[in-house]
Structures are given as C-alpha cells and as structure tokens.
Copies of this chain bind each other. A is one copy, B any other.
Amino acid sequence: MSVTTPAGFVAGGVHCGLKSNGNPDLALVVNQGPHFDSASVFTANRCKANPVLWSEQVVKDGTVKAVVLNSGGANCYTGAEGFQTTHEVAERVASNLGIGAIDVVVCSTGLIGLRNDRPTLLAGVDAVHAALKADGGDDAAHAIMTTDSVSKQVVVDRGGWSIGGMAKGAGMLAPQLATMLVVITTDAIVPAAELDAALRASTRVSFDRLDSDGCMSTNDTVTVMASGASGITPSVEDFTAALTEVCSSLAMQLLADAEGADHEIAITAVNAATEDDAVAVGRSVARSNLFKAAVFGNDPNWGRVLASIGTTDAAFDPADLDVAMNGVWVCRNSGPGEDPATIDLKPRKVTVTIDLKSGSCEATVWTNDLTHAYVHENSAYSS
C-alpha cells in the first residue's frame, strides 16, 4: 500500500537531523526502470521555493529517475545559497545512484525563510540511500510529514499493473495545487506525454479543487514516475481513470487531515453554464471565512452562501438560486426554503449543493471549516 507497491521502485525514509524532535525527515523514491517516464505539476505561486525552481528544469525532458524529499525546512526564500543546497542534494543523490543530477526531482517542506543545514542534508542523502529497500514506501511516506497527523498513502491495483501514491500536506491547501508534496509511482508503460496529460486531467479535478484555507504554497509538487516494469500498456482512458482515483484519494486524505478542521465540506454547484462557473462558485464559498466559521458553529447559514456566490461572475439569476445543506433545500429562489433547524451539522462531513439553473455542468470544491484550532495552529507554528 505504498509507492513501492508498483514494481520497479525502491524507497527509504530516515531521520537526518533537520527535525529537532527526531522524527524521520528525509525520503527517497527511486525508479529502477526499465522505463523512466515522468510528469510533474508545480505550484502556480510566482514566489517559488528553490527545490521547485530546480525541479521545474529537471522534469522538462520527461525523464525522472529519483525524487528526494525533506521535511523540516522548505528551503524557500533562502536565495542563491538555498538553491545551491538543492543542487548539491540532487548531485549527491545522483552520484550515489550512478545517474545524472538532472534526473533527480528535489522537494522540501517545513519552515520558510530559513536555510537548511547543508552538511546535515548531504549526510542524510547518504543515509537514505543506504536505507533504500523494495518495501520502503511506508518509511518514505512518514519522512515527509510535517504537521500531518497521519501519513497519506494509496494504491490502486488494476491486476497486472498498479499505481501507488504518497502525499504530505495539512495546511496552506489552496487552488492550482493544494499545498503538498505528492509522489506517484506506476509500473504501467506510459510514455511521458501521455503521463503528462493524464496527470493534468487528474489534478484538475482533485488537488486543484481542494481549497482548505485559500492560501497557495510555494513548494507544491506532484511527480509521477512510470517504470514500465509490469510490461503492460493500459489504455489512456484506463490509466487516467486509475490516476484520478489515486489523486482523489490523496486529496481527500489531505482534506481529512487539514490543520485544526472540524468539518470536511463538499460544495457542489449544479446546473452551471460551464464547469468553470461551477468551480468559481464552489471556490467563492470555500473562501468565505464567514461561511466557514458558521459551519464550525454548526450553523446552516445559507445567506453567507448566497453572499459568496454573488461575488462571482458566473452565469446565474441572483433572484433564482437554490441552496441545500446536507440535502435540505434551505434556500429556494434566493429566499427562505425548508427549515434550517432540521439540519444536523455536527457530523464531520457536510455537503452544500447550489443550483445555478443556468446549464448542465457541475463541479465540486472541497474545503474545511474555520475553527479556533486553525487560528491557534497557524498563529503558533511559524511556517
């Protein structure tokens, strides 16, 4: 049940010393081939961390042979020296594996604005290389955790070929990539161009629609590597469907572990003129602090939903919107509908359905509530 479940991969996770609490803080996932196809997506934030600046170059040729990931420091806003640290880490990983550094993706997560200690990291790279093993995926998944309370892993097995994935992320989950590091492995044969198309299709409906707190990170990276070790070439449709399953599972695991959240909220806009409209409407509600605080208070405040929808330029008639919470249509034709008192918002999972009555498209955006614990964790944790 990890990134080493698909054939052709080894992985490891160790404590190298970046984290003061002694927890694992360095992970390595290596593709042993015979194929080395890959695809990646990165944060849309213009202020990118050094590992992202490096890895954006690495992935351009569609070949990635290893991903090295450290927690305990994001190496972000650390200038040229920080970039050099990233580069040296890639060089050391490559040298240990007998490959080129330009095939090594580097990911970092943790505090931003602080430099990672380079000798500590480089010694760790040797240690994690020594720790590589055929069932090392679980170790790797644990070594990338920061404020995560659990590791996030998934495997989708198609009989003959499979996809494995691991993710970290518990805060700064936002659009155009929820903040996170994700490594996905598959033993299917998938050429890089197809892998890229499948990855973009999958992230578009999963990670990109996760908007826990509206804050976009600086280090987000999703890399998928295809070893071809199964010898099987699935159809584009089958592979994309399986990859979407993997991404959706990891996205829901991120949602469930968001910092300080009491509720997981699925906001679905239906009968939209376009899918983009549906996403825009869902995201506007997911971004409303007032709505999110109301859900925390178990208050089915549909007025705050309408006030959020009204900030978008989606196609709808402001006087003719319907809104349901947990299936109860509390708002009909932009006015009071069924009695909100019948809604029980105490369970963790909440659904909001918005009928835009303007077409036949729909989309779901996921978010969390705004809680005392969110404020506490993010005022106390200097990231």
- A-side interface residues toward B, CB under 8 Å? 44-48, 76-79, 82, 111-115, 171-172, 213-218, 287-290, 293-294, 296-297, 299, 301-304, 306-312, 318-319, 321, 331, 333-336, 370-372, 374-376, 378-380, 382-383
Contact = CB atoms under 8 A, between A and B. Distances in A.
| Chain A interface mostly | loop
B382 A335 contact: no
Contact of A303 (B214, B287, B290, B383): B383
Given A111-B303, A213-B290, A215-B304, 17 more contacts: A45-B307, A46-B318, A48-B310, A82-B335, A112-B306, A113-B303, A114-B336, A171-B290, A215-B288, A218-B303, A218-B310, A289-B378, A290-B383, A293-B374, A296-B375, A303-B383, A372-B372
Given A112-B307, A335-B77, A293 B218 contact: no
Nearest to A377: B293
Contacts of A379: 293-294, 296-297, 299
30 contacts: A44-B311, A45-B307, A46-B311, A46-B318, A47-B306, A77-B306, A79-B334, A111-B303, A112-B306, A113-B302, A172-B307, A213-B290, A214-B287, A214-B288, A215-B288, A215-B304, A215-B308, A216-B311, A218-B310, A289-B378, A290-B383, A294-B378, A294-B379, A294-B382, A296-B379, A297-B380, A299-B379, A301-B383, A372-B376, A375-B375
Copies of this chain per assembly: 2
A32 B221 CA distance: 65
Given A213-B290, A216-B311, A296-B379, A335 B79 contact: yes
A24 to B, nearest CB: 24
A293 B113 contact: no
B77 A331 contact: yes
A51 to B, nearest CB: 15
A333 B215 CA distance: 22
Contacts of A78: 335-336
A309 B290 CA distance: 23
Contacts of A376: 372
A77 B214 contact: no
Contact of A336 (B77, B216, B293, B333): B77
Contacts of A112: 303-304, 306-307
A321 to B, nearest CB: 7
A335 B113 CA distance: 6
A113 B383 contact: no
Given A296-B375, A296-B379, A331-B77, A289 B213 contact: yes
A53 to B, nearest CB: 9
Contacts of A289: 213-215, 289, 370, 374, 378
B378 A290 contact: yes
A375 B215 contact: no
A92 to B, nearest CB: 23
Contacts of A303: 76-77, 111-113, 218, 383
